[in-house]
Amino acid sequence: MESSEIMRQVDDLHTRYIRIIDDERWEEWPHLFTESCLYKIITRENFDQGLPLSVMECQSRGMLTDRVTGLRTINVYEPHRYLHQISGLAIEHIDGHTARCRSNYLVIRTMLDGAMSVFSAGVYLDQIVLGPGKPLFKERVVVADSRRIETLLVFPL
Amino acid sequence: MESSEIMRQVDDLHTRYIRIIDDERWEEWPHLFTESCLYKIITRENFDQGLPLSVMECQSRGMLTDRVTGLRTINVYEPHRYLHQISGLAIEHIDGHTARCRSNYLVIRTMLDGAMSVFSAGVYLDQIVLGPGKPLFKERVVVADSRRIETLLVFPL
Amino acid sequence: MESSEIMRQVDDLHTRYIRIIDDERWEEWPHLFTESCLYKIITRENFDQGLPLSVMECQSRGMLTDRVTGLRTINVYEPHRYLHQISGLAIEHIDGHTARCRSNYLVIRTMLDGAMSVFSAGVYLDQIVLGPGKPLFKERVVVADSRRIETLLVFPL
Amino acid sequence: MLEWPAEGVSRAPYRVMSDPEIYAQEQERIFRGPVWNYLCLEAELPEPGSFRTTSIGDTPILVARNKDGAIGAMVNRCAHKGAMLCVEAGGKRQHFTCPYHNWTYDLTGELCGVAFQHGVGGQGGMPKDFDLAQHGLERVRTASYQGLVFGTFSSSVEPLETYLGPGMTAHLQRVFHKPIAILGYHHQTLENNWKLYMENSRDPYHATILHTFYATFKLNRLTMDGGITVEHGGWHSINYSKGATLREGSYEGTGIRSVVEGVGLADPSLIERKQEFEDGITVAIQSLFPSCVNQQIYNTLALRRIEPLGPLRSELHWTIFGYRDDDPALRAMRLKQSNLIGPGGYVSIDDGVIGEWVQRGIAGSGAHSSAVMEMGGRDIVSTTGSRATEATLRGFWNGYRNLMDC
Amino acid sequence: MLEWPAEGVSRAPYRVMSDPEIYAQEQERIFRGPVWNYLCLEAELPEPGSFRTTSIGDTPILVARNKDGAIGAMVNRCAHKGAMLCVEAGGKRQHFTCPYHNWTYDLTGELCGVAFQHGVGGQGGMPKDFDLAQHGLERVRTASYQGLVFGTFSSSVEPLETYLGPGMTAHLQRVFHKPIAILGYHHQTLENNWKLYMENSRDPYHATILHTFYATFKLNRLTMDGGITVEHGGWHSINYSKGATLREGSYEGTGIRSVVEGVGLADPSLIERKQEFEDGITVAIQSLFPSCVNQQIYNTLALRRIEPLGPLRSELHWTIFGYRDDDPALRAMRLKQSNLIGPGGYVSIDDGVIGEWVQRGIAGSGAHSSAVMEMGGRDIVSTTGSRATEATLRGFWNGYRNLMDC
Amino acid sequence: MLEWPAEGVSRAPYRVMSDPEIYAQEQERIFRGPVWNYLCLEAELPEPGSFRTTSIGDTPILVARNKDGAIGAMVNRCAHKGAMLCVEAGGKRQHFTCPYHNWTYDLTGELCGVAFQHGVGGQGGMPKDFDLAQHGLERVRTASYQGLVFGTFSSSVEPLETYLGPGMTAHLQRVFHKPIAILGYHHQTLENNWKLYMENSRDPYHATILHTFYATFKLNRLTMDGGITVEHGGWHSINYSKGATLREGSYEGTGIRSVVEGVGLADPSLIERKQEFEDGITVAIQSLFPSCVNQQIYNTLALRRIEPLGPLRSELHWTIFGYRDDDPALRAMRLKQSNLIGPGGYVSIDDGVIGEWVQRGIAGSGAHSSAVMEMGGRDIVSTTGSRATEATLRGFWNGYRNLMDC
Ligand code: FES
Ligand code: FES
Ligand code: FES
Ligand SMILES: [Fe+3]
Ligand SMILES: [Fe+3]
Ligand SMILES: [Fe+3]
């Protein structure tokens, strides 16, 4: 594939990702990942010290699905929405069919009463498997700049 | 037109849009729309319930112009500026010369004294008429995530 | 060079710029500028009144290097990180090998304890020297919307 | 604690706009005192099980229509350990179940179930003498008038109709004379004390001056027929004008900033109006003590409710409506005219900031001074014809002083 | 100032959750009073010179291991003009040098250097009688138990082991029986008073109701063997259950919201567990007055510390650990199960919001009412078998009343 | 309310840095008491009609040059109902018209017009006895010295020159000896009490220690000739040094963190300086009670004004200037050196955070302790030669105690 086409596909995957989350079409979210995958949210405090603890860590597409079950039917929380911004997306390395990518994300959270806040900001460290079909995340590690979470985190970032 | 060329044009229209607003070149803003057009800011609270009320609704280019008259000479408010960020721009459908597009926007508002806040975040739902000349908005519906407005809204988003 | 290739290079320079700053790889930052260069952070309050005072002003690559010395070994401040978002990047003019560009930036600052805030938002006004090699900033003027700085500014924006 | 200036209601000490102790007293003496607080509309509770969340001052309130169709209100606070029962703006429920330990209340607020009341396997559970009937939700007395639901914590306040008085009820009848249809909501945070907004809402003096749009495009001027009605010692008021009666003069060329010369609308369809009411009134703002505003501006109709958020902040909740039998053209006209109102309305934009400018203006040495309200004299009387008066504001302060005992 | 309801510890007036004066009194009488405050883990101070910053109520604290390997604590405030000496969460230092004027303290808090003490060129400097020994850091008395470091401002509080009592120390011995390894940290801001979190942490009643995940996937139900242990007049408590003893019934079909029917896990490996402790306990929450929680949920182990941030806000600091000798499989299991805990944990997500819902529920008229805690009776006793009790909460309020003298 | 430590001005109780009641008292006794508050520069009011908005403590202030060219100040608060008259930092006006109801004031604050004063069509309007002259803006007495405009609410304060005293006026004459040109503004919010900043500004002890840039690049060291001048009982002070007189030693190899070894500037043109003043002083910080700083650091000249924003926050306003007759090279030098100052200045960056670190350090148990200021003795005297002293700080607290009566 040409590099501009790869970039286009990767960019498109990112657009679909934020669209699905920000539109709360949670059920589609696991399908942006390969069956065997890693999705992990870790704070920079732990990441930089080499501490393995994450805020959320899904080691299979099943675990992604379970997070959707959690937020749909299990957990108690106040309804809210995310709004993503992404900048600085770059493909850092391509190895066969896998692209290692990186980007800056920002999530604004809006609560029921309208309160908005900068909920999370940081980087996406991705491994993306390129097509024949649409590209999929093999790995997405979300490194959040802030060491703390306001109230709770129930939606993936 | 090639799809990459359409994307370029649409992207360029978005860049001009935020440049005009963030630079306060209000008089140029109506000219990004077709003569017969719709520009509307609606909160998700109303949008999701199917309630028609909007915060601002211009049903013609004349009404856009009148909003500029309003902010230039009629309304009383404290001077402030907007700064836009846009992500996830996607063309969702093309029907003849009209592209249906969508993107995430974020507006930071800065007041005279320097106070900055996340003023609005949400999605742009657009109908864009493609050239022969430069593309224009036939419709821009701004769906704001927050149900509330801080103090007032006098500039278009 | 083709215009799409120029845009790609300019975009790439921006991505490297925010990556270097947000990853705190400060030593690489001066190398994104030409030897003789201008880097300047000015508030819109001063900029719009034609007042020359800036918050930071480096008139040579040496002065950029000295800012890195300052933040690495001289100044006392609480550790924190920046996270950039950029939108609306446009090449406004090309004159020989120099492109005049412009974009909207947003910087989220995260403190040690995890506190996040909208630290700065505004525009980048750039003069970029195009290759044969990688493009470099000949001039970057950062016009910050807010007239005030929270606590201090020690990292370049 | 609070000493009132000797001049009486033609003065209001600025201190009441920022003092936290006065704010706490207002909660007790005004919001939880002998007043009727507007809560929501019956139309928002269409069926048994429909509920809305709202507030009385700082207290979160739940209004629900029960199985019999009757409307009741209660504090939105579980009787066990205090959790809010509902966080959404509204919806439909069979009963209210607390998320914390599943205590369950019926739609009237009676406690009807306590999880593990009898323990597990014969152990634990509530004491034998625990009486569900003693642990219902704190009830708020409600009364409706023409579809508006009001609530009170007071057992001594007069009946709602008496509280409102004949002039106010007549005006409510005028607007709510047939079934309404809700067109949407606005919410707007204001960086000012709630009373600065209530003053603003009932101030005929500012209307045609601050709101340049009104005067410039002749929607509302003091040189129209109109008047103000005060009632219940001025606690409530209406300020109205009749667009068709405009006389030129008094604005043009006087240097009053409120008419912008040489400005027109590119699309004047915005201010086309339909004469809906036979009395010829085209703009009418009714302000009900302590926190409700009933608005008609041309063909836009809205109820506004101010929610205090501490002494220095408040949130204005707007409910915009039309009538259920509006034809499409009239409905479209209302929606187009909604550009006049709300946080982005040509008219009401100005009110968004003016309260904040007062709040900041009265900081510091302002705590020692007072607002001066002598326009139209120093007493509280209704007038027809002239609206160059602040009697409506003096009325507000009369109500305030009555309740705050100052 | 604060009058307690006649019912005693089965009531807690909501006013204590928001009143700023009560908050200030708590700082004095509780956090700086005769209690032992959990500070950090010895494992976080591996070597001489290791330090951690933490807090006791509002006071910033510095804990350090000195050259002799002993651990001490002091207020993180320069004795000169008050600057914090360290802002990082932890690290290693030879001594503590204040950034402002370079006063230097050794690792025990003794002042050992004052810049320009003797002036420059014979002029200026400190008075001759200035005695470094009088200007050390404010010291905080510390004591450790099984690797947990506690600190107190009190000279009269009983020794740490007595303060904790035999049941509490036995449980700490159980968990901290071999060297631990820290797996990471969570930090979580809560929009509620710190006591609402401490109540929550020791509330067996909510555990299997609010936390639908527990009941649905049978990690924790009241129909398991389990119990609660209260000690030191209920100041401290443990709430535990044994997963292998589950009896069906009492949840299914009762309409209690806490079991979601027809839901399964696509990847059930999440809730595979290893029986680590011989006593069969699979979930145990130990709550130590005033501000520490020691948690075992399956194979996740954590210490939690609540930091008050004014009356209406707090921050919960989590330290997640395993043992140093964990094999890779067990380590991986702990990390996978960490999906259950923290701000994004299937179980603890719910606790993130519930305190805020209480805080908002008790606003306004709530200042006049009280929480009701009569589950399991009205006294403070340990129970085995049943956890349908709020004795642990009554115990907390007993400690609170003892110290606050109310 | 506030009891001072027995040691007197060599101590300052930390409580004054956070207590809201003390803050309110300071507004009354200091900012609205017998002091002269720096407001703005005459150069910012070039012509009749020029105005600037500024503040005295919490009170918003408007300074204007009237038609006769005289400068006056008034509270920026409409005499009607309190709205701010101007929100911009400055500009030019013929008169001040309130946006709310169009009351109009001339440039001296006299009320000259009330909209609809005589009603409309003979109805309404102000009472006949309403006297415009009684409803002007609250005036603030002003006085200028060398182009600096000061204001006071006090009628008893001594004349400005006496208030400043001969040493202070001499230094102002030195800097403001010819027309200035404004180069720009900085604004910087500080998360600390305003007094922590004023202490910092007049503290010679920190200057060459905290500010590593000073000592490392030899801009300012205690081993230069220099001194401190205190006046008016220490209310005001100057702290100065002469760059050309540097003696090596006392910094190198002492372990004082303030000299970074082995560091150089890649572009040393930054610290080239021009000797502008004959006295050889290269750095001089003049601190005028209560809230003004006049700064010369090499060729950068600035006035700084601290605005309190509640007990825990403040905003520092910087006005950077040169002289009108600067040649391009000198102007460029000033601008290049402006990298030393402001919120991003090599020197002043450090001051941005240090006040916050003190504010956080003195939280909690800090309310019971005090800062210790014994460097250079315990009294308040000027010294030449040595700057190893805190006499300037003791002087500040002397002023504070005088006014606060504690
Ligand atoms: S708080 Fe509602 S059931 Fe316990
Ligand atoms: S405040 Fe620590 S040395 Fe001065
Ligand atoms: S408040 Fe200024 S004119 Fe009324
Ligand atoms: Fe109005
Ligand atoms: Fe829980
Ligand atoms: Fe300094």
> What was the pLDDT predicted at D106?
98
d(CA F325, CA B127): 58
Alpha-carbon dihedral of residues E233, E239, E245, E249, nearest 10 degrees? Answer: 100
Helix (H, G, I), strand (E, B) or coil at D365: helix
Residue nearest to atom 3 of ligand 1 (CA): D101
What six digits make up the tokens of A8?
A: 């286009």
What six digits make up the tokens of D47?
A: 């069926």
Helix (H, G, I), strand (E, B) or coil at D235: coil
Count CA atoms closer than 13 A to E314's CA, side-chain side.
27
Chains touching D (3+ CB pairs < 8 Å): A, B, E, F
Count CA atoms closer than 13 A to E33's CA, side-chain side.
17
CB contact under 8 A, E353 and A57: no
> What was the pLDDT predicted at F28?
96
Q: What is the largest CA-CA distance in chain D?
A: 87
Mean residue pLDDT of chain A comes to 97
d(CA D236, CA D403): 14
Count CA atoms closer than 13 A to B5's CA, side-chain side.
6
Alpha-carbon dihedral of residues C107, C108, C111, C117, nearest 10 degrees? Answer: 120
Q: With the C-alpha atoms ordered C97, C100, C106, C110, is the resulting torsion angle positive or negative?
A: positive
> What was the pLDDT predicted at F262?
86
Contacts 24+ apart (CB under 8 A), F118-121: F119/D376, F119/D386, F119/D388, F120/D222, F120/D223, F120/D250, F120/D386, F120/D387, F120/D388, F121/D223, F121/D247, F121/D385, F121/D386
Contacts of F365 in chain E (CB under 8 A): 32, 59, 75, 138, 153
Of all residues in chain F, the one with the smallest CA distance to B112 is F88
Instruction: Give D262 or B50, the one with higher predicted confidence.
Output: B50
Tell me if B44 sits within 8 A of A81, measured CB to CB: yes
> What was the pLDDT predicted at D92?
98
Query: A31-40, B130-139, D186-195: which has the minimum mean pLDDT?
Result: B130-139
Of all residues in chain C, the one with the smallest CA distance to A4 is C8
CB contact under 8 A, E88 and C79: yes
pLDDT single digits (tens) D47-99: 999 999 999 999 999 999 999 999 999 999 999 999 999 999 999 999 999 99
**Mean pLDDT in each 10-residue stretch from start to end of chain F (406 residues)?**
92 97 97 98 98 98 98 98 98 97 98 94 92 97 98 98 98 98 98 98 93 90 91 96 84 68 92 94 97 97 98 98 98 98 97 98 90 95 88 97 96
> What was the pLDDT predicted at F256?
66
Tell me if F308 sits within 8 A of F225, measured CB to CB: no
What six digits make up the tokens of A157?
A: 């970032």
- Whether the CB of D224 sits within 6 Å of ligand 1: no
* DSSP letter assigned to residue C74: I
Number of neighbours of residue B102 by Cβ within 10 angstroms:
18
CB contact under 8 A, B149 and D186: yes
Instruction: Report yes or no: F101 at the D interface, CB cutoff 8 Å.
Output: yes
Cα-flanking dihedrals φ and ψ of residue F233, to 5°? 65, 20
Contacts of E182 in chain A (CB under 8 A): 51
- Show Cβ contacts of residue E315 under 8 Å, excluding neighbours closer than 6 positions: A148, E187, E188, E189, E190, E306, E307, E309
C contact residues 32-71, partner E, Cβ 8 Å cutoff: none
Instruction: Report yes or no: F4 at the D interface, CB cutoff 8 Å.
Output: no
> What was the pLDDT predicted at F248?
77
Q: Which atom of ligand 2 is nearest to the CA of E82?
A: 1
Query: Which residues of chain E have a pLDDT value below 70?
Result: 1, 250-257
Helix (H, G, I), strand (E, B) or coil at F230: strand
Angstrom distances, CA of residue B148 to CA of B71, B152, F191: 20, 10, 29
d(CA E75, CA E87): 13
- Residues B85-114: what's their mean pLDDT? 97
- Going edge to edge, which strands form the sheet with D283-288? B148-150, D180-190, D314-323, D300-308, D292-297, D283-288, D236-242, D225-231, D383-384
Q: What is the pTM of this model?
A: 0.97
Contacts of E350 in chain A (CB under 8 A): 75-77
**Region for D33 from its dihedrals, namely left if φ exceeds 0, alpha if ψ lies in -120 to 50, beta otherwise:** beta
Residue nearest to atom 4 of ligand 2 (CA): E101
- Whether the CB of E103 sits within 6 Å of ligand 2: yes
Closest CA to E106 of E115, E92, E96: E96
d(CA D288, CA D396): 9
Whether D250 has a pLDDT exceeding 70, the answer reads no
Mark out the alpha helices in C34-107 (DSSP H runs).
Answer: 44-49, 61-69
Exposed/middle/buried for residue F218 (C-beta within 10 Å: 0-12, 13-18, 19+): middle
> What was the pLDDT predicted at F255?
58
Contacts of C5 in chain A (CB under 8 A): none
Tell me if F195 sits within 8 A of F16, measured CB to CB: yes
- Show Cβ contacts of residue C115 under 8 Å, excluding neighbours closer than 6 positions: A146
Mark out the alpha helices in A24-140 (DSSP H runs).
Answer: 44-48, 61-69
- Whether the CB of F67 sits within 6 Å of ligand 3: no
Closest CA to B77 of B49, B53, B50, B111: B111
Of D361, D369, D386, the CB nearest to F76: D361
* DSSP letter assigned to residue E119: -
Instruction: Report yes or no: E394 at the D interface, CB cutoff 8 Å.
Output: no
Tell me if E319 sits within 8 A of A45, measured CB to CB: no
Q: Is the ipTM of this complex over 0.95?
A: yes
Count CA atoms closer than 13 A to E329's CA, side-chain side.
4
Contacts of E88 in chain C (CB under 8 A): 79, 112
pLDDT more than 90, % of chain C: 94
What six digits make up the tokens of F25?
A: 């008292």
> What was the pLDDT predicted at F46?
97
- Residues C12-18: what's their mean pLDDT? 97
Closest CA to D358 of D391, D308, D312, D305: D312
Mean residue pLDDT of chain D comes to 95
Ligand positioned closest to the Cα atom of E103: 2
Beta strands in E324-369 (DSSP E): none
pLDDT single digits (tens) E309-340: 999 999 999 999 999 999 999 999 999 999 99
Ligand positioned closest to the Cα atom of E101: 2
Please give the distance, rounded to the nearest whole angstrom, from the Cα atom of residue C42 to the centre of ligand 1.
54
One-letter amino acid of E96? F
Angle at CA of residue D33, ends D31 and D39, nearest 5°:
45
pLDDT band at D248 (very low <50, low <70, confident <90, very high): confident
- Show Cβ contacts of residue B39 under 8 Å, excluding neighbours closer than 6 positions: B33, B56, B57, B58, B63, B64, B137, B139, B140, B142, B156
Q: Which atom of ligand 1 is nearest to the CA of E206?
A: 4
One-letter amino acid of A4? S
* DSSP letter assigned to residue E94: S
CB contact under 8 A, A78 and D187: no
Whether D253 has a pLDDT exceeding 60, the answer reads no
Q: DSSP per residue over B56-111, as a string?
A: EEE-SHHHHHHHHHIIIII-----EEEEEEEEEEEEEEEETTEEEEEEEEEEEEEE
> What was the pLDDT predicted at D254?
59
For a mutational test of ligand 1's pocket, the pick from D74, D77, D81, D138, i.e. the residue with the most ligand atoms closer than 8 A to its C-beta, is D81
Helix (H, G, I), strand (E, B) or coil at D187: strand
Of all residues in chain E, the one with the smallest CA distance to D101 is E206
- Show Cβ contacts of residue E320 under 8 Å, excluding neighbours closer than 6 positions: A53, E182, E183, E184, E185, E186, E300, E301, E302, E334, E338, E341, E342
- Mode of pairing for the β-strands spanning F236-242 and F225-231: antiparallel
CB contact under 8 A, E256 and D127: no
Contacts of B145 in chain A (CB under 8 A): 81, 83, 108, 110, 116
Q: With the C-alpha atoms ordered C29, C34, C38, C43, is the resulting torsion angle positive or negative?
A: negative
Of C44, C87, C147, the CB nearest to B18: C87
- Whether the CB of F80 sits within 6 Å of ligand 3: yes
Closest CA to F192 of C80, E308, E311, C151: C151
Exposed/middle/buried for residue B133 (C-beta within 10 Å: 0-12, 13-18, 19+): exposed
Chains D and B touch (3+ CB pairs under 8 A): yes
- Mode of pairing for the β-strands spanning E139-145 and E71-75: antiparallel
Q: Which residues pair with F306 in a beta bridge?
A: F316
SS3 content of chain F, % helix, strand, coil (to 5): 30, 30, 45
d(CA E201, CA E237): 10
Residue nearest to atom 3 of ligand 3 (CA): F101
Of B44, B87, B118, the CB nearest to A118: B118
What six digits make up the tokens of B20?
A: 């005009």
Distance of CA E89 to the CA centre of its chain: 17
Closest CA to C83 of C38, C34, C21: C21
Please give the distance, rounded to the nearest whole angstrom, from the Cα atom of residue D285 to the centre of ligand 4.
10
Exposed/middle/buried for residue D363 (C-beta within 10 Å: 0-12, 13-18, 19+): buried
Tell me if B84 sits within 8 A of B18, measured CB to CB: yes
d(CA F212, CA C22): 25
Of D199, D257, D386, the CB nearest to F123: D386
Ligand positioned closest to the Cα atom of D375: 3
